[in-house]
Structure 1
Amino acid sequence: MLLLSLAAVMLSKALRYAGLLPAQELTDFDAFHVAGRMVWRGDIAQAYHLPTLLEVQKALTGEQAFLPWTYPPPFNLVVAALAPLPISLAYLVFAGSTLAAYLLVLRRIAGPHFATVVVALAPALFIAVAGGQNGFLTGTLIGLTALGLLGGRALAGLPLGLMVIKPHLAVGLAVCALVLRRWRCLGLAAATAALALALSTLMLGPAIWPAFLGGVEEAKAFLAAGAYPLFRMISVYAWLRSLDLPAGLALAAQMATAVAVLGLIPLALWNGMPRRQVVGLAAMASLFVSPYAYDYDLPLYGIALALLLPDLLRQARRGQVLVLFALGWIVGGYGIVATPLHEALSGSALVTSVGISLAAPPFLLLLALVWRILRRTQTLAVPDSVEATAAPARTVAA
């Protein structure tokens, strides 16, 4: 029923794009389609400057929205492939194909727990479909990387390198490959990323890079000013910044959190955790790295949950399992609830109260609970091993 509901949402959005249902405000996929058309027009470099982008938005769609373009140049080639299609068909092709690929990879990882993972991930799935974002694409690439690392295959570096389209979401698995000493995987990832960068430079021209770097600087200024919808973000930075803490302090807290969470990866390996748990923690850790992390990036959490769920269900108490699922729904669902409230209260004094980002605290609690349950697995394993080694001694004494 959940998957049928996702298909219904997807069809509804496509019909809106086709003009057969009432139109809606510009969303992320509109930004993808506009950027793709700018590639074909030969002025994609101007997309990285918001005032110019707003003018192009108005000319191509008749509307304007705060949707700054900050994607690395290789992603421009992805959206360029969609631009020749009418936006309704382009949306169906992109959202439908990436969702199908993501679900196939998720099923491969989760096995008999697939339905449970889908239910646990439901809010994030609906967000990604409704916005037409690339969360399913990045989730697929991270899932393929995780499968490759679990199998010890160097080809895991191919999807890892393709994450150059959104590199901050690949940091956890890159660290994981490093601590696991998967040198060929890392080499292939570096070669794949370099090839993608070279191809985008060849296709778009070298001027794309100063434009991209300028767009990144603009994005930093927008983020510090709180111009982005912080209530849709899941980062520690967004949480603290939405509480009016200084941008510098919020960024320092974000960096400290990223270092601490990434440190769990080598710590898990040093504690002798199974490789599946190490890779699962690495996939989840990537979501804590960047201050610019949104709820539509949470398909990565689905990959992590699929990897960790067998051990979590085996070792967690019933109440802990319910808390895990509840926290996951809160993290993924807060933006769904806050968005219409924010729009309805726009311009009133109450808008500040719904503009607070509240996803980071439950997400940190979720990670802490996962770590505690997995550590219990290691603790419970010690008496078993001691008993196994002590058994022959008792036999000889007898």
Structure 2
Amino acid sequence: MALRETLRRGDWLTRERVRLWALALAGFSAVAAVVVAATSNGWTDWQGRPLATDFSCFWTAGRFVLEGRPALAFDDAALFALQRATFGPETPFYGWLYPPVFLLVAGLLATLPYPVALGLWLAVTGALYVLSIRAILRSAEDGAAPDPLWLLLVLAFPAVFVTVGHGQNGFLTAALFGGALAILDRRPILAGVLLGLLVYKPQFGLLVPLALVAGGRWRTAAAATATVLALAGLTLALLGPEPWRAVLAASGAVRTTVLEQGAAGWHKLHGVFAWTRFWGGPVGLAYALHGLVALAVAVATAWAWRAPVRPALRSALLLAGAFLVAPHSHDYDLMLLAPALAFLITDGRRHGFAAWEKSLLAFVFVMPLFTRAVAEHALVPVGTIAVLALLIVIVRQCINAAAVAAAPISCHDREHLRSPVAS
């Protein structure tokens, strides 16, 4: 009983414990990164795989761009041949799963030697991620400097280590999405541009138009649409129509192989669709269950963005919902939870935490460290379950916030709210 009450109240989550656990997580990640770098030859790790595995598909696809053959990025045989020619004959295949606009980034990266490109990619996108979280915290504190502990927590989030290990774009996704929501009220057009830049991850944009329309964010929606069209036009002008034809031709095979058959491994994926397939459910049932959850999340998102809900809560709802609704969410995409957690922590410090919320936030924070291993060996999709629980808590908080905002305030309460003690 005592343990249950402690977890419900979250009193165990003291500042000193948070600091010590964050130091331990950050230290583990740093040591692991140093070991991998020290045992590599600059291009491959000690197992003979490309250093930062998934980044190899960015760089090799970029080589095709520089050669004037960008459509070959969507040709699995050609891409695989180039990867093995570059990194060695035992190199596993790392497929290109992005729309043609991301080839512009890949082409720029391929102008540099692989280790230099990897280091620059992680440094720049990592810095953008840190700046986006700082923007969230500063907006919540009305421009004041956030608690000094924030930077340690931002770097200790285990999804950071996962993203570095894959050389993936999790930092950039979190930076664009979180940064856009942090400045939405102050700079709506720039927020729209940032959201439009997320077009390279279209699966995470499914809820964005719904939220913007429900919230009457017309300037942001227009800026996002213009950005997407501009990027598509620029890609067409620079790379020609062939990559667009190639992505359309490959889309059916990608859906079947990656989504329906789980070629990457179900234990690496998140969402209700992956959960259903992971436990042996047929494709039709997976689509049906995923659709029901997506519909419920969409309704909740539209309501929250239209109702008198605090900005931090509706932003966290959109981030967690985008992750859950996406048909294909990898473990490095858990980076989207970093800005969601930042919004929830700042809102909780100002307005109070719900029962169990602090303990749940702590669990969600550490979850990326072990979710893949638990799913692979215990067959329990911890990541999906944790995000579902987080989403339920956010929706309840949104409902409570809307009820408080709609409730009439008595003269006594109004005077109390104006008093220095209440502030």
Please tell me the TM-score bracket, short chain as reference: 0.7 to 0.9
Return the offset for 1:190. 1.2
CA drift at 1:379: 4.6
Match status 1:54 vs 2:80: yes
- The answer to whether residue 115 in structure 2 is matched with residue 81 in structure 1 is no
Q: Which segment drifts farther, 76-85 or 115-124?
A: 115-124
- Could you list the per-position Cα deviations for residues 273-322 of structure 1 after superposition, in whole angstroms to 9, with x for gaps in the alignment? 12332223212221112221112112221112212222234422574311
Please state which structure has a larger fraction of its residues in helix: 1
Identify the residue that residue 90 of structure 1 maps to in structure 2.
Answer: 117
1-structure distance, mates of 2:61, 2:379: 28
Alignment of 1:243-282 (within 5 A): 243-282=279-318
Given the superposition, is the C-alpha separation of residues 58 and 255 from structure 1 closer, same or farther in structure 2, using an over 3 Å criterion? same
AA of the residue aligned to 1:323? L
The letter for the 2-side match of 1:106 is: I
Distance apart, 1:360 and its partner CA: 1.1
User: Are the counterparts in 2 of residues 143 and 303 from structure 1 also a CA contact under 8 Å?
Assistant: yes
Query: Does the alignment pair 1:71 with 2:95?
Result: no
| Separation (CA, whole Å) in 2 of partners of 1:135 and 1:173 | 18
Residue 333 (1) aligns with residue 369 (2): yes
Q: Does structure 2 retain, via aligned residues, the 8 Å contact 1:230–1:242?
A: yes
- Structure 1 match to 2:275: 239
Match of 1:230 among 266, 284, 307: 266
Residue aligning to 1:37: 63
Deviations 1:359-387 (A, max 9, x none): 21221012112322443444556678246
**After the TM superposition, which of the residue ranges 12-21 and 183-192 deviates more from structure 2?**
12-21
1:272–1:249 distance in 2 versus 1, CA, 3 Å = same
Aligned-residue Cα RMSD (Å) equals: 2.9
Q: More displaced, 134-143 or 18-27?
A: 18-27
Residue aligning to 2:395: 371
1:379, 1:181 → 2: CA distance?
21
Structure 1, 118-127 or 219-228: larger mean CA deviation:
118-127
* Structure-1-length-normalised TM-score: 0.85
1:185 aligns with 2:220: yes
1:105 and 2:132 aligned: yes
Task: Letter of the 2:197 partner, please give it.
Answer: L
Q: What pairs up with 1:141-220 in 2 under 5 angstroms?
A: 141-151=176-186, 153-220=188-255
Contact 2:277 2:283 (8 Å CA) reproduced: yes
Q: Which residue of 2 aligns with 1:349?
A: none
Match of 1:128 in 2: 163
Matched-pair contact (CA < 8 Å) for 1:148–1:154: no
Contact 2:170 2:332 (8 Å CA) reproduced: yes
User: Separation in 2 of the partners of 1:391 and 1:139?
Assistant: 41
| Counterpart contact for 1:231–1:354, Cα < 8 Å | no
Out of 307, 310, 316, which is 2:343 matched to? Answer: 307
C-alpha change, 1:103 and 1:391, in structure 2 (3 Å) is: closer
Distance of 1:279 and 1:143 partners within structure 2: 8
SS in 2 for 1:181: coil
For 2:6, the equivalent position in structure 1 comes to: none
1:73 alignment partner, SS class: coil
Q: Partners of 1:14 and 1:274 in 2: how far apart? A: 44
Output the TM-score relative to the length of structure 2: 0.80
Q: Which ranges in structure 1 are unaligned for 5 or more consecutive residues? A: 343-352, 393-398
Worse-matched range after superposition: 201-210 or 167-176: 167-176
- Aligned amino acid, residue 166 of structure 1: K
Name which of 297, 310, 319 aligns with 2:333: 297
- 1:106–1:114 contact (8 Å) kept in structure 2: no
Q: Hey, what's the Cα distance between the residues in 1 that align with 2:204 and 2:358?
A: 26
With over 3 angstroms needed to count, the CA separation of the structure-2 counterparts of 1:243 and 1:93, relative to structure 1, is same
> Whole-Å Cα distance in 1 between the matches of residues 206 and 151 of structure 2?
23
The one-letter code sitting in structure 2 at the alignment partner of 1:365 is A
Q: Is the 8 A contact 1:234 1:295 kept in 2?
A: yes
Relative distance call for 1:196 and 1:10 in structure 2 (3 A) is farther
C-alpha displacement at 1:244, in angstroms? 0.7
**Which moved further from structure 2: 270-279 or 177-186?**
270-279
Amino acid at match of 2:312: R
Contact 2:44-2:87 at 8 Å conserved across structures: no
Unaligned 5+ runs, structure 2: 1-22, 139-145, 417-423
Q: Give the 3 Å change call, closer, same or farther, for CA 360–219 of structure 1 in structure 2.
A: same
Change (3 A) 1:368 1:93: same
Change (3 A) 1:9 1:79: farther
